[in-house]
């Protein structure tokens, strides 16, 4: 399995040129998408499906900052995701997240918009921190900030769900 | 560039691939020539009502004539069969025989095929068929089965809003982000697309497969105490002049569609202001209230410059031509619903999130929870809810043959793969012991391969010829073609084969040649499928070589420029 970054002709960095990623994603799909091989042989069609799937899978990872961070960390055998994780969030991070979650459970319908804006700002901030962490090769910090980003992303989803549940019909 | 593109102007080539909009209320066929699509009419009409009448005497009538048989006691008339496509195993009792939605839809497709052949003066064998973006896996498979029963090879299933965007985008040269609001007879879809430089990228899609113009008829009938048939006539007679009473009746439905729009925009992470326009699709969007409400929501005048009844079929025809004759354009679609597995306590573990671009795959690892456990149940569901019983069951299968070991040691990898038609394949394997078991499941609620074959057998056209002989002959042609292509490839690019690969291929080819002389079609088909799978990596290396040759010295960006 080739490295996702080299698949898209990108240097292996957390900070990437998103426009260039998208451009190269389109260029690769133009070559390999199954639509281009409808008239091909059966093995060409299978090959195109496999290759196009691989391109989509890699794009899904690189175009999402959290997944991109997890991918880079996994290369150093640092796993922050799922049941196989080998790094845990710090006490400070857990406290911070608990405080934020409390805000959501206490929030009234009119508070949700502010809370959403807060989560969005914090998410941007986490991504900025990750860029610095990876640039300075501070992987422990990167792991902590990746976990922070993960909690915040989940938090934002929950705010959106709550917003929908209180919406007047 | 393909040779066909530089053919002499004026000499029309035989394009056998059509675009089909298989609608709840009406269906259409269209064909494209050099990117310009045209509706194929029948008896001077563009729309073929999706109505099938079954006569007591075995006669089958489709379309306008079928609609007029509603009150005829010698006919059973079926409307809106598309609403049942997701329930492919359901049966409708018609004159003592049980018909599936697949068989009934096949009659509509056959009628469209005949209509297209009459209009074109030659045979039509292939098609691109549109489905609501929000159709689940069952309904998609059923649509493909219906086409096969009607004698049409499905080149691709494409989503209705995507087809509409293709038609609109190419015709108007639109660039930027557009929403496509598609309110058909039985389904509602909303999609967000980014169109630029020949790329049609779906960003998000949402909808409701049980909301459409049919509901308006039902409400009108209820409010006025009249029949559905009369209600439909009443609605059509209103034309553009909706009464306040009518608007009040349909308002709750319209509000529901608007909420779905809002949620989708929010989920996509975009702001409403970033959406350049809203393209209208489906006859129901002629209702002024809908236009007014959409203008309020998106702050722009909805776009209806292409007939909302025809836009989907026109887009399908453009795609059918693109797939068979080559095109610079590319559609990148998404999967509309999340896919997951049942875990402990009836909870759903999501494996692929909705709005993920396709084709895509995802892998999840599981383990055993008992010592010596040799089997594991895998239950696949589709939907957005937390609990399994609130989602749509897709497939259930048992992975057996797990070697005996302590609990938690086995590593069972379950892979979900969604192809370019939006159809799912699930495979599972246990790989701790190196004894890899690989199985592929097709969704279990649909029709089995044998059932489809039986239907083909039963259908009028095939009754006369011996279908077994014909299918065997087809398999032999298929096998012969596969072997020849691969032998050629080995001759030309044999140096790309890895150690042992050539021997494996040659062995398999020899086996196929032997099988082709026998009469065991299943074994032959299986061996050919295996050969094609074995060759996929080799084919990819060949594809890469020809690309490298074509692009020697150019980087990926030069390629992008060349293509756009």
Weakest mean pLDDT among B146-150, B151-155, B548-552: B548-552
Query: Which of A9, A27, A42 shows the shortest CA–CA distance to B532?
Result: A42
- Residue B462 has a pLDDT of 47
Tokens of B216: 């308006």
B16-74 pLDDT, tens digit per residue, is 799 999 999 999 999 999 989 999 999 899 999 999 999 999 999 999 999 999 899 99
Show residues of chain A in contact with B331, CB under 8 Å: 35
What per-residue confidence (pLDDT) applies to B11? 38
Neighbours of A39 (CB within 10 A): 13
Regarding whether A105 and A57 lie in a shared domain, the answer is no
Q: What are phi and psi of B428, to 5 degrees?
A: -135, 145
CA distance A150 to chain B (A): 16
d(Cα A7, Cα A2) in Å, to the nearest integer? 7
- Tell me which DSSP letter residue B340 carries: E
Q: What pLDDT does residue B446 have?
A: 54
List CB contacts (< 8 A) between B560 and chain A.
23-24, 26-27, 30
The answer to whether position A86 is within a domain reads no
Q: For residue B232, what is the enclosing H or E element? A: helix B228-238
Whether the ω angle into residue B6 lies within 30 degrees of 0, i.e. cis, is no
Instruction: Encode pLDDT of B258-271 as tens digits.
Output: 999 999 998 888 99
Parent domain of A156 = 91-166
Helices A42-62 & A18-32 angle (0-180, nearest 10) = 170
CA atoms within 13 A on the CB side of B398: 5
Q: What is the pLDDT of residue B464?
A: 46
| Distance (Å, whole) CA A70 – CA B531 | 37
Task: Please report the sign of the dihedral spanned by the C-alpha atoms of residue A73, residue A76, residue A79, residue A80.
Answer: negative
Tell me the two tokens of residue A23. 């451009």
Query: What is the distance between the alpha carbons of residues B482 and B487, in angstroms, rounded to a whole number?
Result: 9
Share of chain B above pLDDT 70, in %: 87
C-alpha distances in Å from residue B518, one per residue of B221, B244, B515: 62, 72, 5
Flag whether pLDDT at B443 surpasses 60: no
Q: What is the pLDDT of residue B21?
A: 97
Please name the member of B331, B486, B560 whose beta carbon is closest to the beta carbon of A27: B560
Between B444 and B500, the higher pLDDT residue = B500
The answer to whether the Cβ–Cβ distance between B323 and A35 falls below 8 Å is yes
C-alpha dihedral (B139, B141, B144, B148), degrees to nearest 10: -120
Q: A96 and A33 in one domain?
A: no
Structure tokens at B420: 């370019």
**Residue A54, in any domain of the structure:** yes
Residue B434's pLDDT band, with cuts at 50, 70 and 90, is low
Q: What whole-number distance in Å separates Cα of residue B59 and Cα of residue B72?
A: 13
Tell me the pLDDT of chain A averaged across its residues: 91
- Structural domain contains residue A148: yes
Q: Are residues A47 and A100 in the same domain?
A: no
* Position B431 confidence tier, pLDDT thresholds 50, 70, 90: confident
Instruction: Name the average pLDDT for chain B.
Output: 85
CA–CA distance, B152 with B22 (Å, rounded to integer): 13
Question: Which CATH number goes with the domain that contains A138?
Answer: 1.20.1280.20
Strands B97-99 and B126-131 come out as unpaired
Of A108-112, B5-9, B122-126, B451-455, highest mean pLDDT: B122-126
Please report residues of B whose CB lies closer than 8 A to that of A60.
356-357, 360
Residue A128 has pLDDT above 70, yes or no: yes
Residue A109 phi, psi (nearest 5):
-50, -40
pLDDT tens, position by position, B97-124: 889 999 999 999 999 999 999 999 999 9
φ/ψ (deg, to 5) at B35: 85, -5
Rounded Cα distance, A3 and A6, in Å? 5
Is the residue at A82 inside a domain?
no
pLDDT value at B527 more than 70: yes
Helix (H) or strand (E) holding A114: helix A112-135
CA distance B320 to B128: 5
Number of residues written out for chain A: 169
Interface A-B: count of C-beta contacts within 8 A: 110
B362 contacts A30? CB cut-off 8 A: no
pLDDT of residue A168: 63
The verdict on residue A75 lying in a domain is: no
Q: How far apart are alpha carbons B416 and B363 in whole angstroms?
A: 6
Is A27 in Cβ contact with B540 (below 8 Å)?
no
Return the SS3 of A117: helix
Tally the domains of chain A.
2
Strand B17-22 to B126-131 pairing? parallel
CATH no. for residue A29?
A: 1.10.287.110
Give the whole-angstrom CA distance, residue B324 versus residue B479: 22
Buried b or exposed e, range B175-210, using 16+ CB within 10 angstroms: eebbbbbbbbbbbbbbbbbbbeeebbbbbbbbbbbe
For the sheet containing B199-208, what is the strand order?
B277-281, B176-183, B188-196, B199-208, B330-332
Answer whether B538's CB lies under 8 Å from A6's CB. Answer: no
Flag whether A21 is in a domain: yes
- Please state, in angstroms and rounded to a whole number, the distance separating the CA atoms of residues A154 and A130: 18
Q: Give the tens place of pLDDT for each residue, B457-470.
A: 555 454 445 567 77
Identify whether A81 is part of a domain.
no
Residue whose entry in the numeric block shows the structure tokens 């998000």: B204
Closest residue by Cα to residue A8 from A59, A53, A57:
A59
- Please count the residues of chain B: 564
Contact A30 B259 (CB under 8 A): no
Of A9, A32, A43, the CB nearest to B532: A43
pLDDT exceeds cutoff 90 at A108: no
Cα–Cα distance, A80 to A77 (Å, whole number): 10
Cβ contacts of A48 on chain B, cutoff 8 Å: 543
Cβ proximity of A15 and A131 under 8 Å: yes
- How high is the pLDDT of residue B61? 96
DSSP string, A34-77: GGGGTTS-HHHHHHHHHHHHHHHHHHHHHTSHHHHHHHHHHTTT
Strands (E), B437-519: 439-441
Q: Which of B31, B90, B79 is nearest to B54 (CA)?
A: B79
List of residues 6+ apart from B453 with CB closer than 8 A: B467, B471
Shortest distance, CA A144 to any CA of chain B (angstroms): 24
- Among A19, A44, A63, the domain boundary falls at A63
What local confidence, expressed as pLDDT, does residue B542 receive? 87
Can you tell me whether residue B150 is helix, strand or coil?
coil
Whether the CB-CB separation of A104 and A162 falls below 8 Å is answered with yes
Average pLDDT of the segment spanning B321-348: 90
Please judge whether A43 and B539 are an interchain contact, meaning their C-beta atoms are less than 8 angstroms apart: yes
Q: What is the pLDDT of residue B7?
A: 39
> What is residue A145's predicted lDDT score, i.e. its pLDDT?
96
**Is-contact B294 B284, C-beta < 8 A?**
no
- d(CA B247, CA B223) in angstroms, rounded, equals 12
**Which segment of B93-97, B230-234, B257-261, B527-531 scores lowest on mean pLDDT?**
B230-234
Phi, psi for residue B507 in degrees, rounded to 5? -60, -45
Least Cα distance to B313 among B106, B25, B27, B24 occurs for B27
- Residues of chain B neighbouring A33 (CB-CB closer than 8 A): 330, 332, 420
How far, in Å, CA of B257 to CA of B254, rounded?
5
Q: According to the per-residue pLDDT averaged within each range, which of A84-93, B330-339, B373-382, B550-559 is highest?
A: B330-339
Residues of B tagged active-site: 21, 82, 160, 182
- The ipTM assigned to this model is 0.91
- For the stretch A63-78, pLDDT in tens is 999 999 999 999 998 9
Other C-beta atoms within 10 Å of B96: how many? 6
Q: Is residue A9 part of a domain?
A: yes
Specify the higher pLDDT residue, A93 or A2: A93
Using the 8-state DSSP alphabet, how is residue B185 labeled?
S
- DSSP bridge partners of B188: B183, B208
With tokens 């049609």, the residue in question is: B200
Residue B239: predicted pLDDT: 64
Query: Over the Cα atoms of chain B, what is R_g?
Result: 25
Residue-wise pLDDT tens digits, B264-300? 998 888 999 999 999 999 988 999 999 999 999 999 9
């Amino acid at each position: 399995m080739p490295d996702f970054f080299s698949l898209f002709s990108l240097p292996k960095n957390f900070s990437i040129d998103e426009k260039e990623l998208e451009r190269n994603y389109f260029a690769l799909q133009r070559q390999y998408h199954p639509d281009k091989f409808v008239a091909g042989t059966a093995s060409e069609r299978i090959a195109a499906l496999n290759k196009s799937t691989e391109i989509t899978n890699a794009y899904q990872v690189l175009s999402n900052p959290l997944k991109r961070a997890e991918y880079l960390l996994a290369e150093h055998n640092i796993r922050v995701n799922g049941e196989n994780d080998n790094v845990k969030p710090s006490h400070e991070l857990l406290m911070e997240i608990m405080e934020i979650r409390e805000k959501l459970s206490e929030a009234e319908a009119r508070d949700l918009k502010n809370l959403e804006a807060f989560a969005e700002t914090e998410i941007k901030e986490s991504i900025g921190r990750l860029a610095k962490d990876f640039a300075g090769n501070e992987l422990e910090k990167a792991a902590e900030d990746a976990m922070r980003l993960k909690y915040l992303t989940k938090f934002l989803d929950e705010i959106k769900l709550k917003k929908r549940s209180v919406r007047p019909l | 560039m393909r040779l066909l593109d530089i053919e002499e102007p004026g000499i029309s080539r035989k394009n056998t691939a059509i675009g089909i909009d298989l609608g709840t209320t009406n269906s259409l066929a269209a064909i494209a020539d050099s990117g310009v699509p045209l509706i194929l009419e029948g008896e001077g009409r563009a729309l073929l009502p999706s109505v099938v009448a079954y006569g007591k005497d075995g006669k089958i009538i489709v379309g306008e004539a079928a609609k007029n048989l509603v009150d005829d006691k010698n006919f059973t008339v079926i409307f809106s069969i598309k609403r049942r496509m997701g329930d492919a195993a359901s049966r409708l009792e018609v004159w003592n025989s049980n018909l599936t939605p697949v068989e009934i839809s096949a009659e509509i497709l056959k009628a469209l095929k005949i209509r297209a052949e009459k209009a074109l003066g030659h045979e039509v064998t292939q098609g691109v068929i549109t489905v609501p973006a929000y159709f689940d896996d069952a309904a998609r498979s059923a649509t493909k089965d219906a086409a096969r029963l009607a004698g049409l090879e499905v080149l691709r299933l494409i989503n209705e809003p995507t087809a509409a965007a293709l038609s609109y985008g190419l015709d108007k040269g639109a660039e930027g982000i557009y929403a496509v609001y598609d309110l058909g007879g039985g389904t509602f879809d909303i999609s967000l697309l980014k169109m630029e430089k020949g790329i049609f990228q779906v960003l998000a899609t949402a909808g409701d497969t049980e909301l459409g113009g049919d509901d308006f008829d039902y409400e009108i009938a209820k409010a006025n105490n009249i029949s559905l048939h009369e209600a439909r006539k009443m609605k059509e007679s209103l034309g553009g002049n909706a009464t306040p009473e009518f608007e009040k009746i349909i308002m709750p439905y319209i509000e529901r569609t608007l909420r779905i729009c809002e949620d989708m925009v929010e989920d996509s992470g975009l702001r409403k202001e970033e959406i350049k326009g809203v393209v209208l699709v489906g006859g129901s969007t002629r209702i002024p209230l809908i236009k007014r409400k959409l203008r309020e929501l998106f702050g722009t005048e909805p776009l209806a410059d292409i007939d909302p009844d025809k836009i989907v079929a026109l887009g399908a025809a453009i795609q059918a031509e693109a797939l068979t004759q080559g095109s610079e354009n590319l559609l990148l679609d998404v999967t509309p619903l999340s896919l997951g597995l049942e875990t402990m306590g009836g909870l759903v573990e999501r494996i692929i999130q909705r709005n993920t671009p396709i084709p895509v795959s995802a892998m999840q690892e599981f383990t055993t929870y008992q010592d010596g456990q040799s089997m594991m149940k895998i239950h696949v569901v589709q939907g957005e809810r937390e609990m399994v019983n609130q989602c749509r069951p897709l497939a259930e299968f048992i992975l057996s043959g797990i070697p005996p070991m302590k609990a938690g040691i086995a590593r069972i990898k379950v892979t979900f793969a969604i192809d370019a038609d939006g159809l799912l394949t699930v495979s599972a394997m246990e790989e701790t012991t190196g004894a890899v078991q690989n199985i592929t499941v097709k969704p279990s609620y649909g029709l089995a391969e044998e059932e489809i074959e039986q239907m083909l057998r039963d259908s009028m056209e095939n009754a006369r010829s011996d279908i077994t002989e014909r299918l065997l002959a087809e398999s032999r042609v298929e096998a012969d073609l596969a072997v020849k292509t691969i032998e050629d490839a080995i001759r030309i690019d044999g140096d790309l084969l890895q150690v042992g690969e050539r021997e494996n291929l040659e062995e398999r080819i020899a086996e196929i040649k032997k099988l082709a002389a026998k009469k065991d079609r299943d074994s032959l088909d299986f061996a050919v499928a295996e050969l094609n799978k074995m060759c996929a990596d080799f084919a990819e290396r060949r594809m890469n070589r020809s690309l490298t040759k074509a692009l020697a010295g150019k980087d990926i960006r030069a390629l992008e420029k060349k293509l756009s």
